[in-house]
């Protein structure tokens, strides 16, 4: 039985102050400055907290409540939106914003493109990309590792999987970041970025159709997708592809940047990884647990319900805080410390739980491993070289916008022929 199938025992939460943080705002700069500390304070007070922001919403903050809620699709709905507040897009974003039984059908459209075997087939390409990107700055002895490596590689790889022009990745990344990190603070900017994304996806779809060949790549699979036996309409195709961009161009970079900062902040990590680079693969779950990029996702309550002793009303919004659950001291001893040999790291839920567990988890793991391995092998003495600039809004994704580093200059390395 896998971890995803092992639900913790359900116990009611004893009476505690659910209204202790009425002004809690996961999209605020204050939260972005100290998200894990804030969530720990809230969890210690009461693991189910209510805020008056955005029309009111609940936050689930310990492992047990988040785990159980994520697997209860009847009590906690993912349709029509998982955003708190809901993003400025014209329709739900499948497959993440859907409910069973439709969710399974939505996922089947693209699932084969994210299989473990596909991830391994793409691994040499990802490593070649990492080598090529590091070649561009290794002789300088300094770089912005986010701008020059951890943003470009995931973006280029998802564009490759979709069969789109990798060289245009900067425009896609800018649209995605503008949308994700402005949902609450600049609705106009978020809406404009979403429109730009949708327009370009629609253009790509039109060109495919004009060519007479949809293609066998990920974009082709989405364009040929069916739901309830009927072909997807253009809006559904556009929004599905929109989701692929969101999933591929923010979170993996966020995880890698967070992990690199952890290496500079926690004594001994760097030495362990240099001595045994294979630890990066075996400890990927520990980095996901500790450096979770997706802070949380929302759900709506379709009908009155009682959950862990708390009365929920129809229409309530609930945030499932993955990052808080991953640092629950009841499950993970000394949770704020990275332990590369932690025995239960695989219980982390950075990719979610249940039917909505991230389809791209195998690809994300692989990209993280190849970028980290390239850095440890070629920039082993890297250190911070200025201020780290984080996105002001960490409510959806906790990530660095800029991460300047310096290191001993090195030599360019030949990229394996045929890998790019």
**Digit-coded pLDDT (tens) for 48-101:** 999 999 999 999 999 999 999 999 999 999 999 999 999 988 899 999 999 999
Domains and CATH numbers, the chain: 3-7+17-314+326-406 (1.10.630.10)
**pLDDT, the chain, mean:** 95
Beta bridge partners of 294: 397
What is the β-pairing status of strands 317-320 and 57-60?
parallel
Digit-coded pLDDT (tens) for 330-347 = 999 999 999 999 999 999
Q: Which two tokens stand for residue 94?
A: 């499948």
Q: Please give the average per-residue pLDDT across 212-237, as a whole number.
A: 97
| Alpha carbon separation from 106 to 9, 49, 66, 119, 386 (Å, rounded) | 30, 32, 24, 20, 44
Residue 285's contacts (CB-CB under 8 Å, 6 or more residues apart) are 345, 346, 348
Digit-coded pLDDT (tens) for 278-297 = 999 999 999 999 999 999 99
What pLDDT does 296 receive? Answer: 97
């Amino acid at each position: 039985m896998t971890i995803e199938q092992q639900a913790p025992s359900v116990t009611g939460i004893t009476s505690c102050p659910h209204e202790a943080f009425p002004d809690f705002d996961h999209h605020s700069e204050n939260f972005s400055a100290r998200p894990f500390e804030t969530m720990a304070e809230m969890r210690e007070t009461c693991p189910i907290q209510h805020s008056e922001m955005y029309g009111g919403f609940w936050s689930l903050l310990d492992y047990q409540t988040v785990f159980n809620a994520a697997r209860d699709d009847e009590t906690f709905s993912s349709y029509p939106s998982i955003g708190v507040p809901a993003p400025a897009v014209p329709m739900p974003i499948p497959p993440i914003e859907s409910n069973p039984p439709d969710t399974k059908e939505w996922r089947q459209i693209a699932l084969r493109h994210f299989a473990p075997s596909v991830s391994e087939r793409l691994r040499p390409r990802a490593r070649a990309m990492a080598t090529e990107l590091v070649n561009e700055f290794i002789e300088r002895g300094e770089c912005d590792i986010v701008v020059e490596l951890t943003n470009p590689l995931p973006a280029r790889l998802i564009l490759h999987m979709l069969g789109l022009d990798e060289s245009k990745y900067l425009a896609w990344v800018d649209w995605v970041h503008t949308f994700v990190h402005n949902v609450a603070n600049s609705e106009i900017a978020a809406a404009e970025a979403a429109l730009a994304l949708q327009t370009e996806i629609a253009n790509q779809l039109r060109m495919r159709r004009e060519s007479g060949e949809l293609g066998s790549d990920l974009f082709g699979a989405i364009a040929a997708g069916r739901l309830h036996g009927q072909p997807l309409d253009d809006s559904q195709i556009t929004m599905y592809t929109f989701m692929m961009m969101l999933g591929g161009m923010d979170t993996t970079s966020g995880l890698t940047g967070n992990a690199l900062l952890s290496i500079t902040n926690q004594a001994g990590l760097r030495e362990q990884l240099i001595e045994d680079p294979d630890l990066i693969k075996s400890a990927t779950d520990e980095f996901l647990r500790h450096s979770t990029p997706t802070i949380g996702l929302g759900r709506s309550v379709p009908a009155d319900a009682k959950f862990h002793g708390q009365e929920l009303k129809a229409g309530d919004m609930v945030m499932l805080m993955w990052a808080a659950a991953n640092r629950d001291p009841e499950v993970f001893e000394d949770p704020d410390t990275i332990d590369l040999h932690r025995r239960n790291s695989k219980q982390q839920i950075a990719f979610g739980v249940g039917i909505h567990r991230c389809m791209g988890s195998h690809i994300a793991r692989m990209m993280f491993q190849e970028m980290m391995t390239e850095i440890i092998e070629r920039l082993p003495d890297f250190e911070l070289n200025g201020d780290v600039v984080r996105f002001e809004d960490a409510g959806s994704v906790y990530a660095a916008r800029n991460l300047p580093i310096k290191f001993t200059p090195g030599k360019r390395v030949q990229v394996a022929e045929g890998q790019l």
